[in-house]
A and B are shown apart, each in its own frame.
Chain A
Amino acid sequence: MARSRIDESGLYDQLRKAISKQGATHQPSLPSQLASLLHPHDQDAPPVHESLTIPELRQLKTMLSNEQRKRILSTTLLSFSDNEAIKRIVTNLYIAMMDLNHDLSMDYPMNFSIARCPAREWLAIITASNAFNLTALHVSNNELHRCDKKRWKEFLDNINISSLEEVSIIGNNPHPLEELNPQRRHELLDRIKNITTLKIFSLSGCQLDRLDERSWQKITDIIQKCSLEELDISHCNIGEL
């Protein structure tokens, strides 16, 4: 589908203008409004505040295609966060939005907790990841092992096996893969194994000698993937394998 960058950024400005008109006191409710627009049938979504009738928003809802709405609203929703880590993610989203390819590199900042990220923000992150072409995923100290069942499933589902070209799971003492329980580790490695477009894979810092046998076998399978061009297994204690 042909997309117009200029039109979308114009609409986005319009949306920002609508938000600024609401004044500081009403702003905390606006993400709910946006999330409800985004997911009208989401049972968990808080009720829409009818007092916040924003003509521009209603107009946007009818004007935009689903994909455009998802993209614009999810970035707007994220921009409400005071969390510095979220703001960095938003920057990537803006770049993707301005880029004609809409390629998104999701680089979770150090010490950003995927497990403890508030539900609203997490919803916006995964919606945005789905709306753009998620081409790179970088995970480091992001508390993957602390995710509850729902969050973990959403994280896995977010790994788009037909668009990702780069997956980087790095860290040390301990590495995120080592922290995961074996079942989840296998699920994650299976998902990576199934990425048909994977070109770059980094496991830097993972103590490969400590991994269980099934995980090890999955990693050697990933190395042999036809599409894989770059592999980083530095700081992986290969001397002790």
Chain B
Amino acid sequence: MRKRIRELADALQQSRLLQLNIANNGIGNLSGGSLQRLCDGITGCYSLKSVAVANSTDAFLSPSDAAYARLIGFNQAVDYAGKCDTRSEIFARTDVQTLFVEFRRIQQVLQEALSAINAKQQAQPHSLTLFSPPPSSAKDDLVTALTALSKLKDNADKLMRQEPSTGEVLRHFRDVAIQALRGDCIKVEDSLHSREEKRARR
């Protein structure tokens, strides 16, 4: 075990800290013994209430990496000791951030598709809609959004399988956020269909 890690862990354990930010330190590079000692120092500090440990490694580790189990063990130990705000840690992760960015992008595409349909309906009197095709861009947008949504769900599922400690936020994301996007897709589809039905009735 490295000397300074031991000394840092001792100092943390003997401190009266309430909050510690130890994020972005590449602690995934530490050996098993060093990481364990650091973990003991953090969990052994009784006053400590909140620890930030995000981005412990530069790379996204797969379960087959040796460092993966060590880091998961570290995160879980800090988490179980009640020292860590798991939600904020997960939100800070770049791979999870990418999911959120993608979510917002799809949401925007769907909203634009809906407003394009609405704008077209409002701009033209009903008597003329018989000859007016639905906005083709809305259809394209819907196809794009559905493809992206399917990919987004796959990525969320993949992350959930790989990173059990991030389960809560990712489950929420998969169940609530993706459902919301599906709801938006249905709205767009309905709007497109209602136009086609009107045309059929006429």
Q: Cα distance A239–B74 when bound, in Å? A: 14
20 inter-chain pairs at a CB distance below 8 angstroms, sorted by A residue, are A208-B4, A220-B8, A220-B11, A221-B11, A223-B12, A224-B11, A228-B15, A229-B18, A230-B18, A230-B20, A233-B20, A234-B25, A234-B52, A235-B23, A235-B25, A238-B8, A238-B25, A238-B38, A240-B26, A241-B4
Q: Cα distance A237–B16 when bound, in Å? A: 23
Give the size range of A's interface with the partner: 20 to 34
User: How far is the CB of A131 from the nearest CB of chain B, in Å?
Assistant: 31
User: How far is the CB of B120 from the nearest CB of chain A, in Å?
Assistant: 50
- Whether, in the assembled complex, A180 has its beta carbon less than 8 Å from a beta carbon of chain B, the answer is no
Chain B residues, Cβ within 8 Å of A1: none
Chain B residues, Cβ within 8 Å of A231: 15, 17, 19-21
Q: Cα distance A208–B27 when bound, in Å? A: 13
Whether B22 lies near A228 (C-beta < 8 A) is no
Whether A234 lies near B23 (C-beta < 8 A) is yes
Q: Cα distance A227–B17 when bound, in Å? A: 8
Q: Mask for A198-241, Cβ within 8 A of B = 1, else 0?
A: 00000010001100000010001101111111111111111111
Q: Mask for B32-75, Cβ within 8 A of A = 1, else 0?
A: 00100010000000000000100000000000000000000000
Whether A226 lies near B16 (C-beta < 8 A) is yes
* A residues adjacent to B (C-beta < 8 A): 204, 208-209, 216, 220-221, 223-241
- Whether, in the assembled complex, B2 has its beta carbon less than 8 Å from a beta carbon of chain A, the answer is yes
Q: Cα distance A226–B7 when bound, in Å? A: 17
Whether A238 lies near B22 (C-beta < 8 A) is yes
Q: Please give me the residue from chain B that is nearest to A239 by CB atom.
A: B26
- Whether, in the assembled complex, B24 has its beta carbon less than 8 Å from a beta carbon of chain A, the answer is yes
Question: Count of A-B contacts with CB under 8 A?
Answer: 76
Contact A236-B19, Cβ < 8 Å, known A208-B4, A209-B4, A220-B11: no
Whether B11 lies near A238 (C-beta < 8 A) is no
Q: Cα distance A208–B22 when bound, in Å? A: 12
Chain B residues, Cβ within 8 Å of A220: 7-8, 10-11
Q: Please give me the residue from chain A that is nearest to B6 by CB atom.
A: A241
Among A204, A232, A241, point to the contact of B8 (Cβ < 8 A).
Answer: A241
Among B5, B10, B21, B28, point to the contact of A232 (Cβ < 8 A).
Answer: B21
User: How far is the CB of B198 from the nearest CB of chain A, in Å?
Assistant: 59
Whether A237 lies near B7 (C-beta < 8 A) is no
Chain A residues, Cβ within 8 Å of B25: 233-239
Q: Please give me the residue from chain A that is nearest to B12 by CB atom.
A: A223
Q: Cα distance A227–B18 when bound, in Å? A: 11
Q: Cα distance A98–B80 when bound, in Å? A: 46
